[in-house]
């Protein structure tokens, strides 16, 4: 399990998935976002501005990957994982949104 804010397939998350498959023989990847995510409720520039005002000069990370649509974010992360050249095409990559109020896990269908 790899956890990060927003369920983003960052370079480091992709590195871990590649290691997981090629060294540990993981045969499927699942990306899960959840309702009420902090990155869903903020704009990228607003967050950077708030942190710069609070902490001083801008620092790393340069990008927080804020988003405004859960399902679309899941689709983008699925695409990012599937399109990496070191992730074999036969590895299933599925995505879900976990509803924190109901406890339901809803699969996100890729668009053609």
Instruction: Tell me the domain boundaries of the chain.
Output: 5-108
One of 3.90.79.10, 3.40.640.10, 3.30.300.30, 3.40.1050.10 is the CATH number of 5-108, namely 3.40.1050.10
Better-predicted residue by pLDDT, 43 or 62: 43
Residue 8: pLDDT band with limits 50, 70, 90: very high
Query: Beta strands 93-98 and 105-108: pairing type?
Result: antiparallel
Instruction: For residue range 49-103, list pLDDT tens digits in order.
Output: 888 888 887 777 778 999 999 999 999 999 999 999 999 999 999 999 999 999 9
Q: Are 58 and 48 in contact (CB under 8 A)?
A: yes
Burial class, 70, CB count within 10 angstroms (exposed 0-12 / middle 13-18 / buried 19+): buried
Tokens, residue 15? 């590195």
Average pLDDT score, the chain: 93
Q: What is the mean pLDDT of residues 6-10?
A: 95
CA quadruple 18, 19, 25, 29: dihedral sign: negative
Does position 44 have pLDDT exceeding 90, yes or no? Answer: no
Q: With pLDDT > 70 as the criterion, what percentage of the chain qualifies?
A: 98
> How are strands ordered across the β-sheet holding 93-98?
29-34, 93-98, 105-108
The whole-number pLDDT of residue 88 equals 97
The whole-number pLDDT of residue 20 equals 97
């Amino acid at each position: 399990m790899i956890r990060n804010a927003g369920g983003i397939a960052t370079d480091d998350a992709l590195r871990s998935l590649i290691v997981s498959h090629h060294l540990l023989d993981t045969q499927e990847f699942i990306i899960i976002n959840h309702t009420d995510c902090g990155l869903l409720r903020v704009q990228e520039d607003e967050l950077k501005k708030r942190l710069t005002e609070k902490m001083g000069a801008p620092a790393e990370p340069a990008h927080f990957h804020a988003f405004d649509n859960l399902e679309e974010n899941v689709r983008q992360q699925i695409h990012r994982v599937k399109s990496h050249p070191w992730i074999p095409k036969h590895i299933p990559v599925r995505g879900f949104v976990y509803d924190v109020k109901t406890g339901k896990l809803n699969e996100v269908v890729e668009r053609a």
